[in-house]
Structure 1
Amino acid sequence: MLTVKQGGIETLVEDWPGRLGFLGKGMAPSGAFDNVGLGYANLLVGNLPGEAALEVTAGFFEAEFNADTVIAVTGTPQPPTINGQPVAMWQSVEVHKGDTIKFSHIGSTGFRWYLGIAGGIDVQPYLGSKSTCIFGNYGGFEGRKLQPGDVLKFGNPSRNLSDLTGRKLKQEFIPEYSREWTLRAIPGPNTCPDYATEEGMEYLFTHSFKVQHTSNRSAYRLEALPDSFFSRADGGVGGSHPSNIIDHGYAMRGALNICGNTPVLLIADGPTLGGYMCALNVINADLWKVGQGTPARDFIKFQLCSQEEAIQARIDQTKLFVEDTVV
């Protein structure tokens, strides 16, 4: 078990791929913001890649272990400490009853850590997932972020703790973190010439957009588009602004919603439908990068991608979480 001493900025129980199959009922998939970090944290402690772990956003989380176990920390390269000593990241580490883990602030790159624990986090699945949707207050641990006094139970480890200790991710598989994140994306469904100009779409795929401070797990807001982006003077029957359309379903996760002049990436807990145009969709294999983008600091740049390339990238990503990547 783990007793929370400080909940930090936002610490959640998340799994992957989250709560699928309920977009039609208005329920977002939730799940880990960075599925690569989660997948490797689980692999190192002997769990399946999608098992529930702790997602620590921006830091300042502190907890005490109430039992011996094995953990792995991945994500932003600012190591937490156990009993005041830095934890080796991207490898499995044995911890003992009474040990205290503490996350301070984020590193020079990245925004989230993942704390994988042998056996995973033992919470009751809700609609097939242990992930937390904080905007709906369901799933995870009581449908909310963790706070002091919370006690989390662990599942049963897949192997003896001694066999899980000291496993390291090979250096070539550790993800590269940046301050400008290139996201491969497919245009549409609302693009040129009906909704955006050719010049506007060219701007979208060549400009570097700063992530705004108002970003969260539902949406990553980017700096505003120029008026020349739009091919219409208004939204017609959809509304007065050219970004307005008749309500339609959003392609969650990864749709770039254009709300007024503001491009908004709809991610884990985002809305499932609405009345704004969507100009492109970030491919599934690059969604993890959004989760490591730091609001008010980092930049996002879109790179044109085909459907065939997107499918292959997703297949390639699933091959990462195997024993061959560990020493």
Structure 2
Amino acid sequence: MLKIINGGIETLVEDWPGRLGYLGKGMSASGSFDNVGLGLANVLVGNPSGEAGLEITGGFFEAEFTDDHVIAITGTDMQPTINGQPVPMYTSLKVSAGDKIKFLHIGTTGFRSYLAVAGGVDVPAYLGSKSTCIFGAYGGFDGRPLTPGDEVKFGAPSADLGSLEGRKLKPEAMPELVNQWVLRAIPGPNTCPDYATEEGMDLLFSRVSKIQHTSNRSAYRLEELPMSFFARTDGGVGGSHPSNIIDHAYAIRGALNICGNTPILLVADGPTLGGYMCALNVINADLWKVGQGAPGRDFMKFQLCTQEEAVQARKDQKKWLSEDSLA
């Protein structure tokens, strides 16, 4: 068990791929914002693919273990320590009852760390997932971020702790954290020539845009687009602004919603439908990069991608997040 001393900026229980099959009922998938970080952490501690772990956003998380466990920390390096001593990232290590783990804050790259424990987080699955949806207040640990005094339980590990300790990744399996994220994307469903101009879409796929500070697990906002992006002067029956259309389903996770002149990337806890156009979709294999983008600091650039390339990238990622990546 883990006793929470400080929940930090935001620490959530998340799994992958989250709560699928309920978009039609207005429930987003939620799930790990960086599924690569969580996936590699699970590989290191011998958990099944997609098992729930702790997603630590921003830093300042602190807790005490009450039993012996094997853990792994991935994602951005928040200078984690156990009993005041630095611990390595992307390595499975044993902790003992009474050990205190502490995270500082994000460094120059990345925004989220992941803590996996052999056996996974033991919380009830809600509609098939242990993930937290903080905007709906369901799933995970009582549907909310962890706070001081919470006690997080863990399941049974897949093997003897001694055999799980000391696992590391191959150097080529280490994810690269940067400040300018290239996101492969497929245009549509609301694109040129009906909703955007060809020049507007060219701009969308060529410019580098800063992540706005008004971003969270529901949406990442980017810099505004000029009116020349739009192919229409108004939204017709949808509304006065050309970004308006009649309500339709959003293809989350990864849809780029155009709300007024603001591109908004709908992500983990994003809305499932609305009345704005969606100009492109970030491919599934690149969604993890969004979760490591720091609002107010990092930048994003979209790169044109085909459906065939997107399918192959997803297959490649599945292999990446397996024991093939262990040294």
**TM range, smaller chain:** over 0.9
Secondary structure, in 3 states, of the residue corresponding to 1:155? coil
1:122 aligns with 2:122: yes
Aligned position for 1:325: 325
What amino acid is aligned across from residue 291 of structure 1 in structure 2? G
CA deviation profile, 1:65-116 (whole Å, cap 9, x unmatched): 0101000000013331111111100010110100111111101100000000
Aligned to 1:306: 306
| Residue 164 of structure 1: aligned partner | 164
CA contact (8 A) 2:70 2:93 kept: yes
Match of 1:282? 282
- What SS does structure 2 have at the residue aligned with 1:42? helix
CA–CA distance in structure 2, aligned partners of residues 239 and 271 of structure 1:
19
Alignment of 1:1-327 (within 5 A): 1-327=1-327
Report the AA paired with residue 133 of structure 1.
C
Give the aligned residue type for 1:102.
K
CA distance in 1, matches of 2:321, 2:304: 26
**1:190-215: per-residue Cα shift (whole Å, max 9, x none)?**
00111001110000000001000000
Aligned residue identity for 2:195: Y
- For 2:286 and 2:79, the matched residues in 1 are separated by 24
Q: Secondary structure at the match of 1:106?
A: coil
CA distance in 2, matches of 1:107, 1:41: 20
Aligned letter for 1:19?
A: R
Q: Distance in 1 between matches of 2:311 and 2:79?
A: 34
Shift of residue 273, structure 1, vs aligned partner: 0.1
Deviation at 1:14, TM superposition (A): 0.1
Q: TM-score, normalised by structure 2?
A: 0.99
**3-state SS, counterpart of residue 319 of structure 1:** helix
Cα drift, residue 325 of structure 1: 1.3
Alpha-carbon offset, residue 320 of structure 1: 1.1
What CA distance in whole angstroms lies between the structure 1 residues aligned with 2:12 and 2:322? 25
How far has the Cα of 1:49 moved from its partner? 2.1
Q: Which letter does structure 2 place at the counterpart of 1:85?
A: Q
User: Residues of 2 paired with 1:115 and 1:322: CA distance?
Assistant: 17
Distance 1:107 1:9 in 2: 15
Native 8 Å contact 1:82 1:102 kept in 2: yes
Contact in 1 for aligned 2:59/2:78 (Cα 8 Å): no
Task: Name the amino acid aligned to 1:301.
Answer: K
Secondary structure at the aligned position of 2:290 is classed as helix
For 1:39, what is the secondary structure of its paired residue?
Answer: helix
Structure 2 counterpart SS, 1:302 = strand
Residue identity in the other structure for 1:135:
F
Counterpart residue type for residue 294 of structure 1: A
The answer to whether the Cα contact below 8 Å between 2:79 and 2:105 also exists between their aligned partners in 1 is no
Letter in 2 for 1:223: E
Specify the code of the residue in structure 2 equivalent to 1:224: E
Over residues 100-143 of structure 1, what are the superposed CA-to-partner deviations in whole Å (9 max), with x where a residue is unaligned? Answer: 11111101100000000010000000000000000000000000
Structure 2 unpaired stretches of 5+: none
CA distance in structure 2 between the partners assigned to 1:323 and 1:32 by the alignment: 20
